């Protein structure tokens, strides 16, 4: 990353430029996280990668499978910062990370929990663990250790942990992890909540259940080779091109029929709703040959109705309403999905009392 230097100015390091960019965008705000970014060279964990590519706002692939699909990467800086803020680790904490990758995230966490804290970063591939260990040692991080293990099963020998973070995606909550979290601890877990729609949730214990205290948009490489494999199948489309559809194990779809679905005659249906700028709309189409388009409603005539087979889901609803689950900042009510009893319905009695006071 090049920085122009004029007489009387000082060259700004890439890590300082990155930290300033993340502060300006609102992804970094806590002092510990900011200091960790300012003192950790991201490019040191990406040997052989161009300096500009290491610091740009994008994920950097570090491993592919035999079909050329990415199976491990270092997340985009804003995603790393978001999860670090969600975790809210403190000095002296013991932290477990599922998804060691390059070791960069473990290095940041090591600095946040120093001087007395410890980080264990797990991965299922020995080559990734070996490279992460090498990167951490070269960077002088002595309180973070890369271990070959299934992140979904955790690392019971060092439990309980004050914080557990997954930097890989999951289709469900790995229940074995919950018993390894200390009282008052927090679990940050990216979860798919409908098909490929994903959010990074921060869970805390609430009596006999678990509740979320935050939920942020994020998509990660899925868990694999373990007790919580998030299996997905890429369905290649027939004919020319490299178009593929991603389907997950819990989705009951005819993958053979899907191969030729884009060859069917196109059909357009208008939803009849207005979508604010910045919000994406996704439509699940379970019938061959039927597609949907996001367009303004025609001025004349009633709005057409969607075919009953269509299910409409908002991919980017505002934070206070993610996939039908309300979000509240910590201390202002329960937030997000609850593991156990459902607690995301408003308490009507309180609303009535407020209305009475206003009248």
CB atoms closer than 10 angstroms to residue 305: 11
Is 282 within 8 Å of 292 (Cβ atoms)? Answer: no
- DSSP letters, 92-142, are T-EEEEE--TTSHHHHHHHHHHTTT-EEEEEES-HHHHHHHHHHHHHTT--
CB atoms closer than 10 angstroms to residue 259: 16
Which residues fall within 8 angstroms of residue 88, CB to CB, at 6 or more apart? 30, 163, 186, 202
Our CA angle for 313, 318, 321, nearest 5°, is: 70
Strand-pair category, 281-284 with 335-339 = unpaired
* Region for 127 from its dihedrals, namely left if φ exceeds 0, alpha if ψ lies in -120 to 50, beta otherwise: alpha
Taking Cα atoms as reference points, which of 168, 22, 15 lies closest to residue 96?
Answer: 168
Taking Cα atoms as reference points, which of 296, 322, 293 lies closest to residue 306?
Answer: 293
Between the CA of residue 56 and those of 59, 60, 70, 110, what are the distances in Å?
A: 8, 9, 18, 23
DSSP state of 321: E
Quick check: is 114 catalytic?
no
**For 88, phi and psi rounded to 5 degrees?**
55, 50
Is 100 within 8 Å of 109 (Cβ atoms)? Answer: no
Which residue in 75, 78, 88, 133 is the catalytic one? 75
Is 122 within 8 Å of 100 (Cβ atoms)? Answer: yes
Taking Cα atoms as reference points, which of 217, 246, 243, 242 lies closest to residue 230?
Answer: 246
Strand-pair category, 118-123 with 144-148 = parallel
Q: Is 224 helix (H, G, I), strand (E, B) or coil?
A: coil
Catalytic residue numbers, as ranges:
75
């Amino acid at each position: 990353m090049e920085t122009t230097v004029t007489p009387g100015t000082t060259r700004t390091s890439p890590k300082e430029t990155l930290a300033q960019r993340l502060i300006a965008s609102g992804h970094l705000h806590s002092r510990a996280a900011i200091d960790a970014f300012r003192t950790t060279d991201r490019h040191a964990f990406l040997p052989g990668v161009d300096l500009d590519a290491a610091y740009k706002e994008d994920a950097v692939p570090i491993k592919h499978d035999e079909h050329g699909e990415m199976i491990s990467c270092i997340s985009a800086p804003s995603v790393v910062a978001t999860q670090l803020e969600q975790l809210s680790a403190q000095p002296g904490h013991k932290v477990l990370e599922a998804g060691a990758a390059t070791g960069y995230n473990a290095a940041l966490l090591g600095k946040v929990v120093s001087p007395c804290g410890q980080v264990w970063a797990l991965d299922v591939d020995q080559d990734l663990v070996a490279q992460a260990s090498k990167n951490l040692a070269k960077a002088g991080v002595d309180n973070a250790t890369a271990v070959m293990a299934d992140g979904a099963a955790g690392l019971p020998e060092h439990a309980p942990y004050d914080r557990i973070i997954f930097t890989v995606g999951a289709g469900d909550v790995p229940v074995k992890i919950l018993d390894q979290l200390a009282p008052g601890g927090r679990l940050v877990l990216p979860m798919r909540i409908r098909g490929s729609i994903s959010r990074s949730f921060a869970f805390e214990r609430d009596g006999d259940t678990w509740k979320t205290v935050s939920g942020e948009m994020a998509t990660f490489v899925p868990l694999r080779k373990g007790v919580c494999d998030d299996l997905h199948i890429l369905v290649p489309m027939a004919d020319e091109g490299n178009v593929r559809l991603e389907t997950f194990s819990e989705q009951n779809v005819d993958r053979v029929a899907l191969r030729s679905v884009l060859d069917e005659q196109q059909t357009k249906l208008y939803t009849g709703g207005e979508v604010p700028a910045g919000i994406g709309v996704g439509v699940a189409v379970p019938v061959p040959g039927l597609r949907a388009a996001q367009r303004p409603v025609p001025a004349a005539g009633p709005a057409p109705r969607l075919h009953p087979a269509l299910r409409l889901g908002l991919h980017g609803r505002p934070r206070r309403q993610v996939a039908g689950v309300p979000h509240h900042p910590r201390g202002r009510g329960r937030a997000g999905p609850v593991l156990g009893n459902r607690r995301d319905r408003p308490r009507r009695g309180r609303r009535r009392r407020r209305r009475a006071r206003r009248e």
